[in-house]
Structure 1
């Protein structure tokens, strides 16, 4: 799962910013394509103004301003008082990561179930966009990066309990690398994990 959608069972990364577990109300407040893109941009690229985010995302500053205020009302973003001059308002992400409570899948409220669908589909869309960007630009990177990157898939026969164990062990391994001193030539690396059942013919 992506950093902003980790399982509650995964260990939380050490950070000055706390993780936050989504509940039905906060999920409904976040489950909008532009809001999710704004929050991701602030997490990945740091504090920014509504105008800067509009330029980055190809949106109007009016739209980004409105949805930033909505995100703030749900506690996902906050003012960054250390930046900006005069009326210029800078925003920052309030948490480093979000935890997706598995009970949301079975919530009886149709609005919450709809928010789950929007959230999941937008995460999948953002993953696809990030991967497409990498494929389109990988020749701009030193040879070591394309040779070290990965785009693999596997098929296993597992029970739900075994799949959860596999996810937990994989996420624990990834989290352990947060404690590793970055090596020479380090860059930010995105890791996407998708694991789901498939009907047998």
Structure 2
């Protein structure tokens, strides 16, 4: 990704809520989404058009005008790199902060409500944390190994027919970041 505006398009809590609703519940109109996210239909419509401008959503079949449904577009996006511009770097930092805050909020929600889940789901959910000593090439290799695991079920996001009975959305977050050197 080379366009800072494309990153800024998702660095907004309402737009992330709209994307979540479209990914989790399928195509919907701005009016239908307004009820789910607590915004006016006009505001939802404006945010949907901004998301569409950068390819995050598109018009779905089956409607016109105000009754036009939107659907989320699933595709991987990456940003950051040694040759990125200052504007892209700042937009990437802002988008990453919003996305991580959202994921942390979802983790906190799970922690607060997991006891209310059926045992099957309560026992299946997990949070792992560790520290390992790696070289930079080993860390890069680990990232390459994790990506296919995290993406194994990604096709089910866009294709509801591929979801087996009893499947639920599950959020995956992984990172491997070097610990800054100490001054000792």
Please say whether Structure 1 and Structure 2 have the same fold, judged by a TM-score greater than 0.5.
Answer: yes
Match of 1:89 among 37, 58, 68: 68
Cα distance change of structure 1 residues 66 and 184 upon mapping to structure 2, 3 Å threshold: closer
| Shift, 1:100, TM fit | 0.3
| Shift, 1:143, TM fit | 0.8
Cα distance change of structure 1 residues 30 and 187 upon mapping to structure 2, 3 Å threshold: closer
Match of 2:23 among 17, 38, 43: 43
| Shift, 1:176, TM fit | 4.4
Q: Say if 2:30 and 2:66, in contact at 8 Å, map to a contact too.
A: no
Match of 1:32 among 12, 18, 28: 12
Q: How many residues align?
A: 175
1:72 aligns with 2:52: yes
2:178 corresponds in structure 1 to: 197
1:56 aligns with 2:33: no
Match of 2:109 among 133, 137, 144: 133
TM-score (norm 1): 0.73
Match of 1:112 among 79, 88, 96: 88
| Shift, 1:159, TM fit | 2.1
Q: Higher mean Cα deviation, 113-122 or 55-64?
A: 55-64
Structure showing the higher strand proportion among its residues: 1
For residues 147 and 91 of structure 1, the distance between their equivalents in structure 2, rounded to whole angstroms, comes to 35
Q: Say if 1:32 and 1:118, in contact at 8 Å, map to a contact too.
A: no
TM-score (norm 2): 0.79
| Shift, 1:59, TM fit | 2.5
Q: Higher mean Cα deviation, 147-156 or 129-138?
A: 129-138
Structure showing the higher helix proportion among its residues: 2
Give 3-state SS (helix, strand or coil) of 2:110's partner. Answer: helix
Instruction: Tell me which of the two structures has the higher relative contact order, counting C-alpha pairs closer than 8 angstroms and 6 or more residues apart.
Output: 1
1:153 corresponds in structure 2 to: 129
Q: Higher mean Cα deviation, 33-42 or 130-139?
A: 33-42
| Shift, 1:88, TM fit | 1.4
1:7 corresponds in structure 2 to: none
2:97 corresponds in structure 1 to: 121
